[in-house]
Chain A
Amino acid sequence: MKKMDKYDIAYNPPAPIVEVKISKPFSTEFMTLKGKIDSGADKSVIPDGLREVMSLKPGKEMPLKGYDGRTTWKPTYYVTVLLKGFQFDFVDVLSSERKEMLIGRDIINNLKLLLDGKNKYFEITDP
């Protein structure tokens, strides 16, 4: 049987949470944080605090539509993302005031993701 990860029951409702490592482009200094799988998000989002600590430089700018339907222009930041042993270079992510990272479809769509919500298990593999 394949090794699956448990949902984090500290979240209500329980959520698929993974350990993520983030670094600046070309840097080998990674910062570790929790990442919440969010298949509804077009793009991944990192915490503002992490962006500040890492002194990330803005790159692109995109119109972002939030849950309230309002659209605002936001800068994005290129980072390296390490997730379950898979490395993604130059992923451009958004930043917002939050504690953990939101892992959106920009990353998820490169992997195989199995969510077994009923049994509170999930699996991330590279097809």
Chain B
Amino acid sequence: MQILQSQSSDIPSILFQKLLKDLGIERIPEEGLSILDILGKLLEGLIKRHEYREITTSKEDLEYKDQRIWKKERNAFAMMKNVLLVEEKYKGKFVAIHDEKIVDYDVDDRKLAKRVYEKYGYRPIYFGRVTEEIKVIEVPSPEYG
């Protein structure tokens, strides 16, 4: 079995040190490092990177899933908005859409959100206002985004 040591004449010292640093090896044991040690460290790094990717992906997946559900609720609201506009019960108020149905409504969206999240849990729920008026929000700071 080939043994790599810092004195190895095959690998220039600086490159050897960089390789060890990249592999997370702080100190070379007295008996040197075998090819298997090096391969083991490489494999460890690959596994860590894979786990990291899995964590990142699942977080992104969750956000994507939330967005998808929320957009579905938003589309349901868009479909029913014209009907709601002629109903006194809803006109001018906020409605909460969950599973593509109205589950609650209120003139105060904060009170509504509190009530709905309490009842259905903190999940993607669309809160839409039953009005024809569109209020544009201004954040004129150039550093907004």
Contacts and interface: CB of A to CB of B under 8 A. Distances in A.
B113 interface: yes
Interface in B116-145: 117-118, 122-129, 134-145
B114 A104 contact: no
Contacts of A59: 113, 125-127
Interface string B48-72: 0000000000010011001100100
Given A25-B114, A55-B63, A78-B113, A65 B137 contact: yes
A43 B139 contact: yes
Interface stretch (A2-10, A94-102, A113-121): A94-102
Nearest to A91: B110
A40 B70 CA distance: 29
Nearest to A90: B110
Interface in A82-109: 89-92, 94, 96-98, 102, 104
A42 to B, nearest CB: 5
Interface residues of B, number: 34
A21 interface: no
A68 B43 CA distance: 50
A38 interface: yes
Contacts of B144: 41, 45, 66-67, 96, 98, 102
Nearest to A74: B137
User: Shortest 7 CB-CB distances between A and B: which pairs?
Assistant: A90-B110, A96-B145, A67-B142, A41-B139, A58-B70, A60-B127, A42-B137
Interface of B: 59, 62-63, 66-67, 70, 74, 109-111, 113-114, 117-118, 122-129, 134-145
Given A41-B144, A89-B110, A92-B113, 8 more contacts: A25-B114, A40-B140, A41-B138, A42-B138, A55-B66, A64-B139, A67-B140, A71-B136
